[in-house]
Amino acid sequence: MAVRKPPITTREYWAPGHAACAGCGPAIVMRLATKAFSEAMEAKYGDPNAFAIAHATGCMEVVSGVFPYTAWKAPWIHVAFENAGAVASGIDAAWKKLGRKGKILAIGGDGGTADIGIQALSGMLERRHNVVYLMYDNEAYMNTGIQRSSSTPYGAWTTTSPPGKYSIGEDKPKKWVALIAAAHQVPYVATASIGDPYDFYRKMKKAASVDGPAFVQVLAPCVPGWRTPPEKTVELAKLAIETGLWPLFEIENGDFHNIKFQRFPKDGKFKKPIEDYLRLQGRFKHLFKKPESIEELKRQIKEVWRILGKEVELL
Amino acid sequence: MPMRKVMKGNEAAAWAAKLAKPKVVAAFPITPSTLVPEKISEFVADGEMDAEFIKVESEHSAISACVGASAAGVRAFTATASQGLALMHEILFIAAGMRLPIVMAIGNRSLSAPINIWNDWQDTISERDTGWMQFYAENNQEALDLILIAFKVAEDERVLLPAMVGFDAFILTHTVEPVEIPDQEVVDEFLGEYVPKHAYLDPARPITQGALGFPAHYMEARYTVWQAMENARKVIKEVFDEFEKKFGRKYHMIEEYRTEDAEVILLTMGSLAGTLKEFIDKKREEGVKIGAAKMTVYRPFPIEEIRALAKKTKVLAILEKNISFGIGGAVYTDVSRALVNEKEKPIILDFIIGLGGRDVTFEQLEEVVEISKKALEGEKVEEVNWIGLRKEIL
């Protein structure tokens, strides 16, 4: 039986000609997210264009808005690194007063979201603004050149978490911002990966459709930051799901007892070894000299699954 | 008919915000301006004010939300002071660079350390280079009036710059005075509804705001802020005139007080001007040829007015509640810039006074006059003087 894929609109808001690297994961995020948004806006308000974007400082902001050019075919604003949540709050308030129907899309990388921007994100979620906050997670500060963020996974090389005689690379577990967002008991929180674009598309549509705030954390591999070939971006994003390293889930209204999972193996056993994912990336190269570090990474990921209510086996 | 009410400076600022009808107010409480958002939230709760009031989680987000709202095309207002204003610092440049006419009320307060909640101007003075216009109120009436004036100037197409209105912590924020509240209809006539001519985050006319400016464009963008600030001089004077016609109160870039035949003029800002006027009356009775001047507008800096003032005196003594470490008071250095190429200029002296809420007394002002007199008589004196220091605890 043929599998019917969900349709993706042909409308474009992320124009070609932006300055992102070849094989850029976040660029795929921008394109898919805005397409999904427009579909949701069309369904909800009868106007596919009924949205505006507030962007945190970061690589996607820089590559898309180099004056006098722009990659955006939607109203778009960039203010600073740490305040996309607050700027979006202001736009939401203004639109309410103007009687303008629509929703705000706030976008930040893991630096602008998990670290410097988390306060403004929390405020925006807590105040129940009509905003979808999209965190594209490439797991380091790629705009300034690959420094670690709190979303950098254990063991990863970055320029500020270099492996060495006394270091394994990044030595702290990854901060899962989706769980922090869900703790705000907002209508909708999800994780996604560009390795499953249809799932990501559906989640962005859902996020844009709910009344009130939503948060989506999407894995988006970075070619220079992960030390990977451009053609491997989507494959890596897929492997992250298939090896169990990247849980795909949805949490509604902060209900941690009823988390919906996607692509979860029925028996809880992930079929591909995480080494398949790690081996493709220069940032994890050094881990293979210390197998215990790979075990530690597995332990941390299993712990995240356990918090999510699932006992899993990782190969 | 305008209504007269006895109120604190903070309430006057809240009333100004109510009369200006901003569509979005975003604020975070900080002493001494906490009552501004409190009063506004009461107005909103009672349906007397039709604004979205965003109870943000920090001053940084307060100004960021105002930037978002203003960029979306509505009138936006906030209030803060001291550390709160310092926390906004980064975004103040952005608001000006993006030419967003946000208005902000400031209960002028010192900066840490040591932490101190009382009055000086270090907070707003530290933001003088952000591209925001700056007004300083002598009393609660001026706090109200200048906020209305600030909106009118900020939103003028020739300007489109944000503005802050300072009124001294506790001396004005918490002190009750009779304030005339203008009629809403007259304010509506004066301000009108804010309708930006540009496309602002409008899905029907999408534009990109806050783009990256390469070296090829950055300087020109900053130059337009410079130009806008230059234009503001003229626009402010026009608005002052219009304000007088509508409300009967006249404002000046620099207001002079008994400067005729003065040998010494004391120049200051804010509530200190009220103290000075009384002091001048006393000194005039004693036969001392002395006058005062109050700077109402600090940015754009009233260069021509300073030059005109300087022609009237032999000593220009600047009294200011701020310090730029390593050079002197900010107003003093600015005044020096205005006069540096003048052929004839008075002796310019700086007096750092009343920091962190220390009372400015007539005794201290006598000290200012003594030093000024010495300079007048050709004696060498310090150019920058700290007045009222408790030397015994140093």
Taking residues B178-188, report their average pLDDT: 98
Q: Note the pLDDT tens digit of each residue in B35-94.
A: 999 999 999 999 999 999 999 999 999 999 999 999 999 999 999 999 999 999 999 999
Asked, as a colleague might, if the bond just before B114 is cis with ω within 30 of 0, I would say yes
pLDDT over threshold 70, residue B232: yes
CB contact under 8 A, B72 and A91: yes
Here the ipTM equals 0.97
CB contact under 8 A, B56 and A123: yes
Residue window 31-50, chain A: list those with CB within 8 Å of chain B.
Answer: 47, 49-50
Q: Is A51 on the interface with B (CB under 8 A)?
A: yes
Quote the pLDDT of residue B1: 84
Q: Which residues of B touch A61 (CB under 8 A)?
A: 212
CB contact under 8 A, B68 and A75: no
Output A292 or A4, whichever has higher pLDDT.
A292
Quote the pLDDT of residue B199: 75
pLDDT over threshold 90, residue B197: no
For residues B95 and B86, what is the distance between their CA atoms, to the nearest angstrom?
15
> How far, in whole angstroms, is CA A278 from its chain's centroid?
19
Quote the pLDDT of residue A41: 98
The residue of A34, A41, A64, A79 whose CB has the most chain B CBs within 10 angstroms, and thus the best one to mutate to test that interface, is A79
Taking residues B379-390, report their average pLDDT: 97
Comparing CA positions, the residue from B119, B100, B190 lying closest to residue A79 is B100
Q: Note the pLDDT tens digit of each residue in A150-172.
A: 999 999 999 999 999 999 999 99
Taking residues B160-173, report their average pLDDT: 98
Provide the phi-psi class of A76: left if phi over 0, else alpha when psi is between -120 and 50, else beta.
Answer: beta
Look-up: residue for tokens 């006098």? A68
Q: Note the pLDDT tens digit of each residue in B119-155.
A: 999 999 999 999 999 999 999 999 999 999 999 999 9
pLDDT over threshold 80, residue A214: yes
Quote the pLDDT of residue B359: 96
Asked, as a colleague might, if the bond just before B182 is cis with ω within 30 of 0, I would say no
Q: Note the pLDDT tens digit of each residue in B270-322.
A: 999 999 999 999 999 999 999 999 999 999 999 999 999 999 999 999 999 99
Contacts of range A114-117, beta carbons closer than 8 Å, 24 or more positions apart = A114/A149, A114/A150, A114/A151, A114/A175, A114/A177, A115/A149, A115/A150, A115/A151, A116/A81, A116/A82, A117/A56, A117/A81, A117/A82, A117/A83, A117/A84, A117/A85
Nearest to A91 among B68, B214, B217 (CB): B68
Averaged pLDDT score across all residues of chain A: 97
For residues A276 and B172, what is the distance between their CA atoms, to the nearest angstrom?
68
pLDDT over threshold 90, residue A177: yes
Q: Is A72 on the interface with B (CB under 8 A)?
A: yes
The residue of A55, A98, A184 whose CB has the most chain B CBs within 10 angstroms, and thus the best one to mutate to test that interface, is A98
For residues A28 and A33, what is the distance between their CA atoms, to the nearest angstrom?
8
Nearest to B206 among A75, A96, A120 (CB): A75
Question: What is the spatial order of strands in the sheet that B315-320 belongs to?
Answer: B254-257, B290-295, B264-268, B315-320, B347-352, B384-386
Residue window 86-115, chain B: list those with CB within 8 Å of chain A.
Answer: 90-91, 94, 98
CA-based end-to-end distance of chain A: 31
Residue A6 pLDDT grade (very low, low, confident, very high; cuts 50, 70, 90): low
Question: What is the spatial order of strands in the sheet that B163-168 belongs to?
Answer: B52-55, B24-27, B76-80, B103-108, B163-168, B133-136, B297-299
pLDDT over threshold 90, residue A206: yes
Nearest to A83 among B60, B76, B98 (CB): B60
CB contact under 8 A, A90 and B207: no
Averaged pLDDT score across all residues of chain B: 98
CB contact under 8 A, A89 and B26: yes
Q: Note the pLDDT tens digit of each residue in B320-364.
A: 999 999 999 999 999 999 999 999 999 999 999 999 999 999 999
Distances (CA, A) of A136 to A51, A60, A107, A192, B171: 19, 9, 8, 9, 49
| Phi, psi for A292 (deg, rounded to 5) | -65, -25
Distances (CA, A) of A15 to A19, A26, A72, A231, B321: 11, 14, 6, 21, 53
CB contact under 8 A, A75 and B55: no
CB contact under 8 A, B210 and A82: no
For residues B264 and B120, what is the distance between their CA atoms, to the nearest angstrom?
24
CB contact under 8 A, A76 and B52: no
Quote the pLDDT of residue A16: 87
Give the closest-approach CA distance of A59 to chain B in angstroms.
11
CB contact under 8 A, A94 and B207: no
Q: Is B66 on the interface with A (CB under 8 A)?
A: yes
Residue A1 pLDDT grade (very low, low, confident, very high; cuts 50, 70, 90): low
Give the closest-approach CA distance of A309 to chain B in angstroms.
32
Q: Are A241 and A265 contacting, i.e. CB atoms less than 8 angstroms apart? A: no
